[in-house]
Amino acid sequence: MAYLLALASAALYGAADFLGGLASRRASTIAIVVVSQLAGMALLAAFLPFLPAAAPAGRDLAWGVAAGLSGGTGVALLYRALAIGTMAVVAPTTAVCAVVIPVAAGLLLGERPAFLTGVGIVLAIVAIVLVSGQQTADGRVTPAGGGRSLPPGIALALASGVAIGFFFLSLARTSPAAGLWPLLVARVVSVALFGAFGLAARRGFSMPRAVLLTAVLGGVLDMLANALYLIAARQGPLSVVVTLSSLYPASTVVLARVVLHERLSFAQVVGIACAFVAVVLIVS
């Protein structure tokens, strides 16, 4: 059951990211983040009274705050990256970085990666190089660097992946007795953070009705994905759950291809394939 929940969370995460990135192309990223996060918070707050009673400890709430800070930052960076870059490239890049974070945390705690994990890390680097290549007018792809800037969204995708990795770690550190309260705390923190930032920067929160509905739907799907991930992480091995949940770029890529008709070079297709394989190997 945990694996099915993790797969379902991956599908919902990918759809939510696609909707958030799509909405961010027509309105301020900060406004989209606030609206989507607020919609998810409202959904969870409405359902909490009907869920089994929970008793979150102070430690669980603290991890919820950490999840709110890292998750909110990761979502904001990801939405912006999806808005200015190629979705089918940005999403896998973010996912690879998000999976690397738990591995790095394990190393700091004295763990030593298995052979397949090491292979996955190397493959992740290869994937990032391939998907970061810029496509020229004649269809060739030039590697990032060497005096050339990164393609739009890639730098933000890398930073987003790091933040999302810490988000996954923070939620995984909460106890089952806490129920879904850490998620609610995380949402309150992220909404307050980006709401205050938007007000301080004098960013408007208005947007067309169609964009508003897209942002709200994205926020609802993202909250459902978070809830499924949190439940799955408490029922099954974290490494397997994170692996399956980190396959969320699949639905983002499919939606970007079907809806936006995004085109990729052969090298970038290979890079995306390497990213998916790396996700599996790193936490195998």
Q: Give the residue with greater pLDDT, 56 vs 263.
A: 56
pLDDT tens digit string along 220-248?
A: 999 999 999 999 988 877 777 887 888 88
CA distances from 282 to 100, 140, 167, 214, 239 (A): 7, 30, 18, 33, 9
Confidence of residue 147 (pLDDT cuts 50, 70, 90): very low
Rounded to two decimals, what is the model's pTM?
0.82
> Other C-beta atoms within 10 Å of 201: how many?
9
Most confident of 118-132, 177-191, 256-270: 177-191
pLDDT at 140: 52
What tokens does 244 get?
A: 């399956």
What are the pLDDT digits (tens) for 176-203?
999 999 999 999 999 999 999 888 877 7
Q: Is the pLDDT of residue 50 over 80?
A: yes
Closest by CA position to 141, among listed 127, 131, 126: 131
pLDDT of residue 137: 46
Contact 36, 225 (CB under 8 A): no
Q: CA 105, CA 212: separation in Å to the nearest integer?
A: 37
Q: What is the pLDDT of residues 160-169, one digit of tens each?
A: 999 999 999 8
Distance of alpha carbon 176 from alpha carbon 96, whole angstroms: 27
| Non-local CB neighbours of 60 within 8 Å, separated by 6+ positions | 174, 175, 177, 178, 181, 182
Which 3 state secondary structure label does DSSP give 137? Answer: coil
Phi and psi dihedrals of 202, rounded to 5?
A: 60, 40
E strand map for 50-172: 134-135, 141-142
pLDDT given for residue 18 in this prediction:
92
Average pLDDT, the chain: 84
**What is the arithmetic mean of pLDDT over 56-75?**
94
pLDDT of the residue at 125: 76
Per residue in 97-112, pLDDT tens? Answer: 888 787 777 677 676 7
Cβ proximity of 128 and 120 under 8 Å = no
